[in-house]
Amino acid sequence: MAYAAYVFDAYGTLFDVHSAVRRHAEAIGPDGQQLSEIWRAKQLEYSWTRALMREWRDFWALTEEALDHAFERVPSADRSLRADLLDAYFKLDCYPEVPAVLKALKATGARVAILSNGSVPMLASAVGNAALDSVIDDVFSVDELRTFKTDPAVYEMVTTAYRLYPDAVSFQSSNRWDVAGATKFGFRTVWINRARMPDEYRDLSPSLILPDLNGVE
């Protein structure tokens, strides 16, 4: 079945959130993976907590605060790398299959968009760095709403902008919690299970599970 719009989460789905630490792996040392995992986990935790409290801070501020926490948890990592890591996060690598998959979907006549917790400047930088400007029609940021996924209002941004019913939208995310939220909203969902994680939220199952974006249609 063809969909009117293919909408993608950004971080972990299109852009490799761990590429920032890998870019400075030698300088960070053997605990780089731990630093990166804590950084990502806290970034997400802070977004959920802020949304529940209705106490907004944009995603870039949360990214900075999460990195500071990660440094505290991983004392072997050199804090002087903070600026370099944040710069690398602002210019994350996209996964290798991303350009070809998005180009093929756009060629069908469907809209191709990003729906992300990321701030407007973060997303503009990531899209530009990956040279995806020509294949992405729209970038929807939660900055407009001052909340985060999985608030239904976030997913509604797409249906409102495109004047579509939810089931006309195919939504792809590597984050199982995000897939659950989008499924509840009514999107057709595809879980990009890059990390080969066990399923969660079994009452809110995705339509399809893939190891990467190849196969999205």
Active site residues: 9
Distance CA 189, CA 180 (A): 8
Distance CA 47, CA 43 (A): 6
Cα-Cα-Cα-Cα torsion 132, 133, 138, 143, nearest 10 degrees, comes to 90
Instruction: List the 188-192 sheet strands across, edge first.
Output: 138-141, 111-116, 5-8, 169-173, 188-192, 208-210
Contacts of 36 (CB under 8 A, 6+ apart): 17, 18, 20, 21, 22, 70
Contacts of 134 (CB under 8 A, 6+ apart): none
Contacts of 185 (CB under 8 A, 6+ apart): 152, 155, 156, 166
> Which pair of tokens denotes residue 66?
């999460």
| Residue ranges with strand state E in 86-168 | 111-116, 138-141
Q: Tokens 């009452």, residue?
A: 203
Task: Give φ, ψ of 209 to 5 degrees.
Answer: -120, 125
* Number of C-beta neighbours around residue 182 at 10 A: 32
